[in-house]
Chains A and B, each alone.
Chain A
Amino acid sequence: MEEQVAICFTHVKKTYKLYKSAKKRFLGLIFGERIPYKKYKALDDVSFTINKGEAVGLVGRNGAGKSTLLKLITGVTFAEEGEITVNGQVAALLELESGFDPQMSGRENIYLKGYILGLTPEAIEAVEDDVVEFADIGDFIDQPVGKYSSGMRARLGFAINVEIRPEILVIDEALAVGDAAFSEKCRNKVRSLIDSGVTVLFVSHAKDQMMEFCDRALFMDKGKILADGPAEEIARQYDAFVEQEKKREREERERRKREGTPERKRRKASF
């Protein structure tokens, strides 16, 4: 049973401390709680389990906590409460181009990124040809990455992340990479990875894509998981939720207009 679990969150809480200025933040690190700050609950008591080989979608509005959740899974940030278990090598298609050096060639960057991800030289050598082939950017592979178009950079980044044979793949809106042909290639790749038993966590606003890959989905809002179930069911719930929110916002705006109250107390920009 234990080996079945790929990702497990139990009662995970993550708050960001929002200070008024950099100075306050600095003092806050020294003097702790005595310096006032606003708490922002990015994740509020989140629990869920994803088994190996599952493809799970993650939906929610901006600021719902999706990115924080992904960052915790990839091990970039840390939660202050709760327990997180992640079994297997995670590849994150969060920021495809992070870790690239613009002066180095595409090929050198494959190695650089590989080392950053903790791979050995031999392991990178073994996948180098696959990455080059998948990225399919021709002679540009030996040119500095700084000379690439944004599409080419994304292609190379995507290729590296999927070819290092991850056990858990985290995708954040990354399938809109490059032109239609490449996008199709990426989708096929992800599908074949899912078929080969890779666990996939998929964040997207594109409902169709989510339903194409995932059989299960999580619906988040305000740092909580509101629903967990079959992808189609969740997609329907999310749609309804978005419609309702839109309506509520519209009414709110109209009410404000009628009553003539100012929209919000503003802080002046400092420049």
Chain B
Amino acid sequence: MKEIIKEHAGFLKQIWKLSKSELIITYKGAALGPAWAILNPAITIFVYWFAFALGLRTNSDVRGATFFQFLMVGMIPWFFIKASIMNGADCYLKKSAFITKMPFPVSTIPTFVLLADLYVNLALTLIMYILLLIMGVPPSIYNIQILYYVPLMYFCQLFFTWITAMLSAVSKDFYSAVKAFITAFFWMSGIVFDPYSMADPILRNIVLASPISYICNGFRNTFLYQTWFFETPYETLIFFAWLIVLAFLGSRFYKKLRRTLPDILA
């Protein structure tokens, strides 16, 4: 952990610039460019809404919010989570030139790769907020919790990436495994359904214990349900336990494998 903080300390300006360039590289070369960052999620939300609300007819309101609002607010953080899992797990592989050809503070790679994804997500969140206002959801003091949930979401994904990126660099099987699990994460984390309305209490608690569902429900509490984060103490506690475990494991992996990483990737 000390090593990682030290690597970041003298490199903050560069991280900021590299995250910007990462964003530019992603959307350069397409005529619509950055529009895809918005179009893609919009289409995804519409498709799920179509399948659930019109196809399966689960269009009933969820605790006072329309199903569409419920779905949209839960899926916005998911887009960041998905992008950061995908881009995070192979970031050492993709940036292997930084590792094998030049001296570089390697632990900053996940930081700026995920930051680029976060910028896109902040734009999405803003658009979502405007849409909610148009739909007649009133602004409230609870909205400021976004300053709590977004950093937590970012750091949770960052710590997770410390583990996945390192293991994926060691063996590509791990990267394939991570990708395969994304679908499971999505369907089992209470993004398209309300975990609080699950009948089985054990299953409900398992779903609520997932960090992904903490973030997605957090966004809903912030924008739809007017609930403070300390009003869900059980979920909050478990989430922080996850954070600590991920940070501990991630920094251990980094410390253990950093020095062999250039030889593995070369």
Contacts and interface: CB of A to CB of B under 8 A. Distances in A.
A74 B102 contact: yes
Interface in A86-110: 90, 92, 94-95, 98-99, 101, 103-104, 108
Contact of A104 (B17, B25, B172): B25
A77 B262 contact: yes
B97 interface: yes
Nearest to B100: A76
A116 B25 contact: no
Given A77-B262, A103-B25, A92 B102 contact: yes
A62 to B, nearest CB: 16
In which size bucket is the chain A interface?
A: 20 to 34
Nearest to A109: B21
Contact of A118 (B10, B24, B99, B100): B10
Contacts of B99: 76
B21 A77 contact: no
Nearest to A71: B262
B101 A99 contact: yes
Interface in B14-34: 14, 17-18, 21, 24-25, 28-29
B45 interface: no
B113 to A, nearest CB: 14
Contacts of B29: 103
Given A98-B97, A99-B97, A112 B21 contact: yes
A22 B171 contact: yes
A120 B101 contact: no
Please indicate which of the listed interface residues B14, B29, B99 has the most CB atoms of chain A within 10 Å of its own CB. B14
A207 to B, nearest CB: 27
A16 B260 CA distance: 10
A269 interface: no
Interface string B160-199: 0000000000111100000000000000000000000000
Interface string B227-250: 000000000000000000000000
B24 A121 contact: no
Nearest to B101: A98
Contacts of A77: 262-263, 266
Contacts of A118: 10-11, 14, 105
A77 B265 CA distance: 11
A140 interface: no
What 6 pairs across the A-B complex have the smallest Cβ distances?
A: A75-B103, A98-B101, A26-B171, A115-B14, A78-B259, A98-B97
Given A99-B98, A112-B21, 20 more contacts: A25-B264, A26-B170, A29-B257, A75-B103, A76-B262, A77-B262, A77-B263, A78-B262, A95-B101, A99-B97, A101-B25, A103-B29, A111-B21, A112-B18, A115-B13, A115-B17, A115-B18, A115-B21, A118-B10, A121-B17
Interface of A: 16-17, 22, 25-26, 29, 71, 74-78, 90, 92, 94-95, 98-99, 101, 103-104, 108, 111-112, 115-121
11 contacts: A25-B170, A75-B103, A77-B262, A95-B101, A98-B101, A99-B97, A99-B98, A99-B102, A104-B25, A111-B21, A112-B21
